[in-house]
Every structure is written in C-alpha cells, then in structure tokens.
Chain A
C-alpha cells in the first residue's frame, strides 16, 4: 500500500524489479514447498478409501424397561368413577398400592399424556390437564427428583401444550414441560416385527420411570386410540407410515415401551370424528379414570366407552399373543370404586 495520502496508486508499480534471490531464501522456499508436498501426499494416503462415503457407526439405543415388580397384594386394574379428576386419580393410584410403589425418592419421572392436537380440554382430543396435574403432584409427593411432561405432537407443539392446558397444569404442580426439537431424537432399536430402528424422543431415554396417561378416543383406521397407541408419541421421523399396518405397529410400540404405570383418562370421551374431534357434539362425559399395570386389559376395558368389542380391535389379541397382557380384564385382579 502506498502511503501518499488520499490519492491511491494501484497497479502502478510495474516498473520495479524484484530483489536478487539469496541462497537462504531459496533454501527456505524449497523446504516449505517440499514439506507442503509431503503433507498433501500423506493426507491423500490416509484419506484414501474404496468407499464413496465415510461410514460412521451410529450408536443405537434401547429403551429401558420402566416397570416395577408385580405384587400379588394389589390389583392390576383399578376403575374409579366420580366427578373431580384429582381425587379420582388419587384413589385409582391408591388402589394399586399408592404412588410410593411406582416412584421412589430421587427418581426421574416422565409423564406421557396425549397432547397430539391444538385443541382445548373440552374438545377431548388431548388428555385432561387435571389428570396430568394430579399425577405430577403424586410424583412430587413420592419424592421424584424431577418430573417431565412430554409428547411428540402432531400440530405445532407449542400450541398443543399451551391450549390443551397441560403446560399450565404441569408447571403449576412442579413439572417441567419438554418439547422435543429437531435435535432431540435418538436412534433407537424398537426390536419389533415391523418397527426396528426409529428416532425416539431422547427424553424417554433420560428418565427412570414413565407414566402413560392416554385418553379414550375414537380413531377411524384403528377404531380407537387408547393406551397402547399412545406410544406413537415417542416416535419422530415418518411415523405416518405406521398406518399401513397399524395393528402390528401398535403392538410393536407397546412391546418396546413398557411403562411403570398407566392412567387412562375417560372423563371426557371423544366418541366420533377422532382422533382430532373439534366439536363438543363429538364428546360425551363418562367421568371415569382407570389405572393399571396391564395396557392390554386397560384398552380392552376402555372399549365399552366407544361401543366396541375386542374382536373388532385386532391389536388387542395380537398384544395378548405376544405376552403384553390379558384381553379378558375380568380374569384379572381388578377393583371398581365410586367417589362423591
């Protein structure tokens, strides 16, 4: 750069001659170019491969089994009818032995309601927020170190959690809402017949206990969406392909995710136009909460709210055949009670 004030001289130095090359300069330049050449060749040798892409082993995770030891002292299915959600949830969990049986002090708990849709509680497309709030409180009382509420929604997740009232209910009782972002999915081996390697929300890999909190809804393809189908909400990726064999997919999911406890919300039931609903005319009030450890039995029990029978819902028998539970819930140790 010239140093002559505001007027710049560019490209006007063609008349000047370069200084003589000294021996020292020559040797230095030769050394530098030789070293660079050696470096490039070494790099080429190291990077050479027959493969057009570099393969990296991706870690594949498995979900842990979240169940607790079975107990002969307690029923496996508890049905509670009543009016107010919180006492119903408390009573149902108490019948099964109390939350202390499922959540120990210091446990990390994930509560998985159905928060699939941008709908308000009255429309019954998502789990009742009071049921979620009650479970958060029970987990807190049992000494859980942290309680997460999470789902993989179908509509915009922020809107779903806000307008369903579940965000407010969860936060009010001391849980944290975790919305999975694009980077929050972990490659997971589902070990199913149809479902093998799928992206699963990482939050399910980072907890000790999982509580399934589905809602009873109509579903055109499957007839119903209940506890076992609620596990769609762990998956990312192109899960809309699962419709192509929905019954096998549901059984695969239920086999891969074994929850600590299931609490079915049948307070408001979406009778038709499911799973989205939208009109209050689609909703009937049934005021029932069902808690249990056998998802097949809970789903079979819940069919009565939709006017279905087990023979019209093939995944139940398929689930029983794979040892996931009993379709004939009456054969189990079950209790029913009524509050208020």
Chain B
C-alpha cells in the first residue's frame, strides 16, 4: 500500500498513462470492440468548453469533462500530474533528462513570468472558438498527444520492427506533427515540464478553475525554516516555499515529501498557514489579447480559410457534418485516422484552408473508404463525424440513400481503354455498389494497324457513385490516376452539388 500522497499520485499517474497507451493501442479494427477509446479526449474540459463555444452543445461523451471540472474546483489542477498523459510524460522525461545539483534544481523550478503565456493562449483560443473558429486542437495537450502518437510515434514503431499495424501507415506532413511533439519532449531537458508550465492552455483553464479551491498545499509559517528543499522537485514551479501560486500547482505532492520540517500538508487552511497568490496576470493584458485575436481572425479569414476556399480538395469522412459545422467541432485529434483501416484519412495541410490544418481528409492515392466501415464516426470524440450505422452509410432501410463522400470523374486522356486501346476496367471490378456505379460500353474500335478490337470503356453513373475512392486507389495509372474523386455531390453539403435530380434526396 502506498503510504504518502506522492506515492498515490505516482500509482495513479502510472495507471492513467498505461490506460492512455492501452486505449491508443486498442483503437484498431481488430481490437476496438467495446472499448471507450476516446476516453481521454472526452474527459478533457478544454475541448468540451471550446467546442461548446463554437457549436452551442456539449456533445455526448464530452459530458465526461465534468468529472474533471468539478473535482478541480475543490482540489485544484490535479489533472496535470495525475491524469494527463502529456503531463506525466513530461514529468518522467524532466526527471530522466536532468541530473542536477540541488541549487540548479531550485533555479529550474522557480516561477517565471513567462508562465503567463499559457493564459494568453487560452484566452486567444477561447475567443477564436467563440467567434466560430475551433483551433483548440492545435495546442490542447490531449488532442496533441493523441495526434502525435497516431501520426508520428506508432507509424515510427512499425518502421523499427515493433509492428502496431499490419501495414505501416503513412501520413502526409506527419513530420511536422512529429517534430512539434519531439520539441515538446526535448524542452523538458531545459526546463522540466516546459509545456505544462509555459504553454498548456488546458493547464491554464484548470488553473483558473482552481482559484477558489478549498483544498490546497498549505505551508505552516512557524514550522518552515525557509530551507527551500520543497522547490527541488516541484512540478508546477508554484513557489511552495513562499506564497503558493495556487493556479500553477499540479498537486504533485513532492514538496510535502521533501520538507524535512513537516511544515507542508495538503488540506484546508489552518491558523498558521501561509497566504497564497492569485494568477499573475492583469485584466488589461487579457482584454488586449482577446481584442487582438478578435481583430486577427476576420483578417485571416478574408485571405484564405476553410470557409472561403473551394473545398473540392477536402473530401471528408463518412458522416461528417457540413463544412462549417465540421470545422466547429473537429479538434484535430486524429482519433479517426487512428482507427481508419485503409490509412485513407490524412491530416490536412492546407487542403481545407488555414483553419482546417490537421483536420481529416481522404487521400485516395493512399487508401479508400471501406464501404461497410463506420469506425471513424465511432472514434470521433466531438461529433464532427457523426456516429452513423452501416445501414445509414450504405442506404439500407430505413435509409433511402447511401452517404456520398463525393463523385468519381474519369480523366479519359489517361484511362487505358479510352486513350490507349488497352483493356483494363480495374475500377469497375473494384466498385463496391450494387449495381455498380462504374459501368462500361463494349465498343468496337480499329487499332493502329486497322485490326478490329473490342474494348470495354468505363463510365461513372453519378447517381450511384458514393465517392469511396477505391477506383482511384486501385487504378494502375500510378502517379495521377485516370479516375479521381472530388467532393462534389457529397451528402453533407446542400450547395456542393451538380445534379438537378436526386442530389440530396
């Protein structure tokens, strides 16, 4: 049995980190049955709040965030050192990277004014959300670590001979995600928990929530000899040796164990407890940040955004909301990319506008949307991709129409039977609908030498095409396929349509 609060914290941290990794590993077609794979993403108060600001609803599992918010109001930022996988990783690495003398440790764990940055980031991200641009996922720690593992770490493991997938996936621009994650990890070398102290907007939110927490680290000013040993392993750099900065404290409980005088305890304030300090930011700076963000957003949007750019390049996963609502819900966590069996879901670079960075798009050269698969909607924590059933996706009763992602178009100049008199119709073979959306005419032609030939020349029936992209993926014209899908005709849009009849029936 653990004997101290620090031991409890260590066991819980180990448990939650293992749980995070387990749920990440299990998020795969063969293994995911029944597991609450989005648990950490749903527990997250920051994404719940930001997505609430953009969309006005607290979607399903995001209500789990209340399990963090309510205890934080009473206890403080326990999440950061007890639950958060990025925080716990930072804590472990901060320990491994640093073998320092006590004086250095005191220097490293001292409070610095730059810790205020995270509050400004929080305000900027929430103002963006309130104005309809959900960018929280760029810096939210849970979305960030989930994305980094999916796009960077797990495919990396495949390539060093520790297979996580049957086929090692590739992700476009994954190196950006991986390098950002590596930088966050390496920053612990220069300051333990640099991310948590300086940048983390979720930490800032929890700090704000913990301002009036009745249970805190308390220092008995009579017992304290000002030796400063409590700072040596302090995770939050929250000045436990002086007036505790409550919003910075992670409840790591190290100070209690390090105190030789037994002057520190966790609990209610006592008669001889030291005073505490509020958050070190001025209202004026916060308002400045908010106004600056509010001014910046329309300027950015007027140049290029997911709403102003044509979205033909962005084919969204099946069950996705209409583009504006989709961008208002997607937190770029890559949970959909983790469960996608064909690797077709890719983090967008600028294909979906600046605001759509790292949101999921289908890249049919890499994979295709498997007709009977609805895994991405099951994995999505925020409802940007709805939880559709197979019947809804394929248009089986009671549904009347399948969900269309777009429409396939031939490039007859590159299509072998059309351009070069070579038999092929691999696309027709692959087409999964019944009857097939790809059909062909048997056409008698004369070859170069005048000899008669019979060719099967393919066509797309737009009313039947679901835009799954398997034709594009399997087309033998490798570099630029002779059949390609674009988003026109997608079920989720009322405007991105081309057919007068039966477009949105």
Contact = CB atoms under 8 A, between A and B. Distances in A.
A159 interface: yes
A156 B426 contact: no
B274 to A, nearest CB: 24
13 contacts: A118-B370, A118-B371, A155-B470, A182-B166, A182-B167, A220-B429, A220-B456, A240-B426, A243-B424, A244-B424, A277-B434, A279-B434, A281-B434
B29 A159 contact: yes
A155 B373 CA distance: 11
B225 interface: no
Given A182-B166, A273-B434, A276-B430, 4 more contacts: A118-B371, A156-B29, A221-B423, A240-B475
A243 B423 contact: yes
A156 B434 contact: no
B247 interface: no
Contact of B30 (A158, A238, A279): A158
Interface in B414-449: 416, 422-426, 428-436, 440
Contacts of A220: 425, 428-429, 440, 456
Contacts of B435: 273, 279
Contacts of A5: 101, 103
Contacts, number: 90
B22 interface: no
Which one of A159, A163, A181, A277 has the greatest number of beta carbons of chain B within 10 Å? Answer: A159
A243 B371 CA distance: 23
Contacts of A219: 429
A238 B476 contact: yes
A162 interface: yes
B106 interface: yes
The 6 closest A-B pairs by CB, nearest first: A278-B434, A279-B434, A156-B341, A6-B103, A240-B426, A240-B476
Contacts of A154: 430, 474
A244 B166 contact: no
B476 A243 contact: yes
B426 A158 contact: no
Contacts of B173: none
Given A243-B476, A276-B429, A276-B432, A6 B372 contact: no
Contacts of A241: 476
A5 B102 CA distance: 9
B423 A246 contact: yes
How big is the B interface, by class? 35 or more
Interface in B297-355: 341-342
Interface string B79-108: 000000000000000000000010110110
A272 to B, nearest CB: 8
Given A244-B416, A278-B432, A179 B166 contact: yes
A241 B477 CA distance: 9
Nearest to A225: B429
A182 to B, nearest CB: 5
Interface in A150-176: 154-159, 162-163
B433 A221 contact: no
A181 B370 contact: no
A51 interface: no
Contacts of B29: 156, 158-159, 162
A240 B371 CA distance: 20
A57 interface: no
A176 B306 CA distance: 48
A107 interface: no
Interface string A118-131: 11000000000000
Interface string A211-251: 00000000111000000000000000010110111100000
Contacts of A179: 166
Given A163-B372, A182-B168, A282-B434, A245 B478 contact: no
Given A220-B440, A273-B436, A159 B424 contact: no
Contact of A159 (B103, B370, B422): B370
Interface of B: 29-30, 101, 103-104, 106-107, 163, 166-168, 341-342, 370-373, 416, 422-426, 428-436, 440, 456, 470, 474-476, 478
A5 B105 CA distance: 11
Nearest to A282: B434
A162 B428 CA distance: 25
A140 B432 CA distance: 36
Interface string A247-287: 00000000000000000000000000101111101100000
A155 B476 CA distance: 16
A8 to B, nearest CB: 9
Contacts of B436: 273, 276
A179 to B, nearest CB: 6
Nearest to A120: B372
A184 to B, nearest CB: 9
A118 B375 CA distance: 14
Contacts of B370: 118, 155-156, 159
B307 to A, nearest CB: 33
Interface in A1-35: 5-6
Nearest to B420: A244
Nearest to A280: B434
Given A6-B104, A157-B166, A162 B30 contact: yes
Contacts of B101: 5
Contact of A276 (B168, B431, B478): B431
A243 B482 CA distance: 15
B426 A243 contact: yes
A179 B29 CA distance: 14
Given A181-B163, A278-B434, A238 B478 contact: yes
Contacts of A277: 434
Contacts of B166: 157-158, 179, 181-182
Contact of B429 (A6, A119, A243, A245): A243
A282 B431 CA distance: 15
A2 B425 CA distance: 74
Given A6-B106, A244-B416, A159 B476 contact: no
A175 to B, nearest CB: 17
Contact of A278 (B163, B433, B478): B433
B167 A181 contact: yes
A283 to B, nearest CB: 10
A275 B431 CA distance: 9
A244 B430 contact: no
A119 to B, nearest CB: 8
Nearest to B30: A158
A118 B106 contact: no
